[in-house]
Amino acid sequence: MQRRAFLKGAGAVTALSVGAASWYAYDRGVFSVGEGPAYEPWKNWRGGSSEGPLALIRAAILAASPHNTQPWRFRVADSFIELHIDPKRNVGALDPFLREEHLGMGCALENLMLAARANGYAATTTLMPGTLSPISAQSQLVARVDLAPGMHEESELYNAIPRRHTNRGLYERQRPISKDIVDGLSQLPSEDENVRIFLFTGEAEHQRIAEISSAANVQLYSDPDVAAASEQWIRLQWKEVQRSRDGLTIDAFGLSPIAAAAAKTMPTQLLNRIASKSLKTGYADRMLTAPLIGFIAVRDRYDRAQCLRAGRIWQRAHLFATARGIAGRPCNEAVEMVDHERMQGRAPKCLFQLAEVTSDPTWQPTFVFLMGYPTETAHASPRRPVQESVNA
């Protein structure tokens, strides 16, 4: 009788423990990847014909941005859309001139232009001139898109918008990207004389780029200001993801499903320690799994219009790759180190290292990326709703 009572009690305790563990996992988002209000913009991105220009914003907000800061604000009217950069949505010391935030604005502009054609608009873009400077508190107009009636034209890039996600996982190292796709990528900026793509497929080139990037990564994040600015955009708690709808999440770290689930159930303090350690180890090895490394370069890294154009090319390249089943991700530590050295008045060591890779110092790399066939599926990142981004 006592044994039966004990077993019955033990069973109840086990059931409660399993139930508690299941609830804890549910509360941490283990079973809810890509679900909830933070991910709705990926599902209703086309909008409706009655929305007018607002439908274009639904596509624009799904663009890439540094640390998923989503720095855009849009002023929307029947005949035009203005793009304003929100200086409060930045990564501070990691991007002291808002160079990367302007790249993100260019990505949003590219999506917007693709959506304009798909929604029957003839769109004309005007980029605001200027030179990038240290972060200020003022919102800045960076581009204007004038709209007129036009033909409906849905392209493969437009249709790839909801499938384009940054893939920070490993790639199939022994599976090269075909020459016709590499050639297609290289021709994407063909109409812009101030933007060029450098593509590297050789082992020696990859080793050198990974070496430069890995060293820059360690140096950057040893600066407490850079580390703190980056960490403010990391969302480890599921409730925080749903509340903020921005930043980098565990689901976007490029982990396997099992590792991601384990990470979500870890205490935050332990997870922070693991994340901090991972920044300093294995970075080059992870880069070297990609069969293709690319630079997007401009004539003047701190020219606002050229920055926006470079962002448009990255968005275009990532959509082009997505349409062909190829994954991509930024790997920008080397260029961020150029900004860091400039801001601190130090010798431009990283600038010269990148020039050695391109063998042409007249082109200034402003964006570094990896591409390849993924070993894990990339997940969507959270997005703020359209209503929070319009009428700057």
pLDDT tens readout for residues 321-364: 999 999 999 999 999 999 999 999 999 999 999 999 999 999 99
Q: pLDDT confidence of 275, banded at 50, 70, 90?
A: low
Average pLDDT value over all residues in the chain? 90
Residues 140 and 200 in one domain: no
Give the residue numbers spanning the domain of 338: 179-372
Q: Which of 1-10, 90-99, 286-295 has the lowest mean pLDDT?
A: 1-10
Q: pLDDT confidence of 138, banded at 50, 70, 90?
A: confident
Residues 1 and 77 in one domain: no
Residues 230 and 261 in one domain: yes
Q: Domain count for the chain, please give it.
A: 3
Q: Domain for residue 62, yes or no?
A: yes
> SS3 sequence, the chain?
CHHHHHHHHHHHHHHHHHHHHHHHHHHCCCCCCCCCHHHHHHCCCCCCHHHCCHHHHHHHCCCCCHHHCCCEEEEECCCEEEEEECCCCCCHHHCCCCHHHHHHHHHHHHHHHHHHHHCCEEEEEEECCCECCCCCCCCEEEEEEEEEECCCCCCHHHHCHHHCCECCCCECCCCCCCHHHHHHHHCCCCCCCCEEEEEECCHHHHHHHHHHHHHHHHHHHCCHHHHHHHHCCEECCHHHHHHHCCCEEHHHCCCCHHHHHHHHCCCHHHHHHHHHHHCCCCHHHHHCCCCEEEEEEECCCCEHHHHHHHHHHHHHHHHHHHCCCCEEEECCHHHHHHHHHHHCCCCCHHHHHHHHHHCCCCCEEEEEEEEECECCCCCCCCCCCHHHCECC
Q: Is the pLDDT of residue 5 over 60?
A: no
Q: Is the pLDDT of residue 1 over 70?
A: no
Domain CATH for 250 = 3.40.109.10
Q: Is the pLDDT of residue 198 over 70?
A: yes
Q: pLDDT confidence of 273, banded at 50, 70, 90?
A: low
Residues 149 and 264 in one domain: no
Q: Domain for residue 186, yes or no?
A: yes
| pTM for this model (two decimals) | 0.91
Residues 222 and 138 in one domain: no
Choose the most confident range, by mean pLDDT, from 31-45, 266-280, 339-353: 339-353
